[in-house]
Amino acid sequence: MKKTISTLALLLLIALTTNACAAGREHFKDTTPKATLDTLKYDSLMKKLANGDKSGRWPVKTKEYPLPGAILPFNRVVAYYGNLYSKNMGVLGQYPRKTMLNKLKEEVKNWEQADTSTSVVPALHYICVTAQADAGRNGLHNLRMPFSQIDTVISWAKSINAIVFLDIQVGFSTVQTELPLLEKYMKMPNVHLGIDPEFSMKEGSVPGKRIGTFDADDINYVTGYLAKLVKKNNLPPKIFVVHRFTKRMVTNYKNIKLRPEVQVVMDMDGWGPPELKKGTYKYFISDEPVQFTGFKLFYKNDIKNKPNRMLTPKEVLNLKPAPIYIQYQ
């Protein structure tokens, strides 16, 4: 004969078990190590980047620290920029893979020697949406690169422990349209973002005929979008690069919202002789502070006019503030 348990006894057993579990939870301590941000070091490094700036603009005052795992300002990023289909858009597509990666590694060494106190992270900054003079089949004056090309760049970066930036030139489109198409890549912890206001043709001009523009609202859309991905997927903060070399390229900069999930870099994107580039950096990057700064160096265009030379790493590091993101085209 099978033994049975009464309903009353069963209820009593459940109650005793529940109470025991609750008591256990009260005494249980979660010993899992939690990632933290060294805020003292962060503050010290931000002050160092200000380079003794007396204007009060640098370092930028923010209410919140970045999430743990932030790359900046603990490291300097040195990136090669371009597109695999073009030898004229930047060094990334100008040379065969092995040659290009070796050149990048040499530049990384140069920056490590110029600032021995800051580690350098190599990066490939790939233009994955290129502005076009022709309207194209979509009528948007842009060309979206196939995912196979993006995958290739990511695999190249992995071979040298580099991070990747995907750069968007929207043409007649918008960041609100283009960014979601890259979501599967933005979910990757090693992939970051760049946008180029020069080719955001809000007024309907053909790309290349006039310089385009983004507003703080566009930039805030991007940081909000990236912040949600970071939180949802438990990612380290994203670096978000905004290129700039005129005032109109970024309007209402004071309205740009900073978020712990995103590190915003305003990148001086102009080319020319050293003094011209310094002036552009001062007026459109240093004088209109957002968070971090970047500086682009052109292997070809910077040496076209006298004194026919590029700025050295030491000269760039003497700027106020010192750029933490360096890009070569």
Report the share of the chain in percent with pLDDT over 70.
90
pLDDT digits (tens, 9 = 90+) for 227-247: 999 999 999 999 999 999 999
**Whether the predicted model's global pTM rises above the 0.85 cut:** yes
Read off the pLDDT band of 119 (50, 70, 90): very high
Q: Which pLDDT score is estimated for 3?
A: 40
* Residue 198: closest CA among 169, 175, 174: 169
Residue 113 has pLDDT above 60, yes or no: yes
In sequence order, the β-bridge partners of residue 282 are: none
The pLDDT assigned to 280 comes to: 97
Q: Which of 1-15, 24-38, 82-96, 163-177 has the lowest mean pLDDT?
A: 1-15
**pLDDT tens digit string along 246-277?**
999 999 999 999 999 999 999 999 999 999 99
Burial of 57 (0-12, 13-18, 19+ CB in 10 A): middle
pLDDT tens sequence across 298-326: 999 999 999 999 999 999 999 999 999 99
pLDDT digits (tens, 9 = 90+) for 4-35: 444 444 344 434 444 444 444 444 344 434 57
Q: Residue 163: what pLDDT?
A: 98
Mean of per-residue pLDDT scores for the chain: 91
As a three-state string, the secondary structure of 103-162 is: HHHHHHHHHHHHCCCCEEEEEEEEEEEEECCCCCCCCCCEEECCHHHHHHHHHHHHHCCC
Provide the H-helix boundaries in the chain.
7-27, 39-50, 91-94, 97-114, 147-159, 175-178, 183-186, 216-233, 274-281, 313-317
Let me know: does 167 contact 194? Beta carbons within 8 Å.
yes
Question: What is the rounded average pLDDT of the residues 193-210?
Answer: 95
Average pLDDT over residues 107-117: 97
Average pLDDT over residues 205-233: 97
Q: pLDDT category, 63, cuts 50, 70, 90?
A: confident
pLDDT > 80? residue 193: yes
**pLDDT at residue 34, rounded to an integer:** 58
b/e sequence 62-93, b meaning 16+ C-beta within 10 Å = eeeebbeebbbbbebbbbbbbbbeeeebbbbb
Percent of the chain with pLDDT over 90: 87
Closest CA to 271 of 321, 242, 309, 241: 309
Give the integer Cα–Cα distance in Å for 327 and 77. Answer: 8
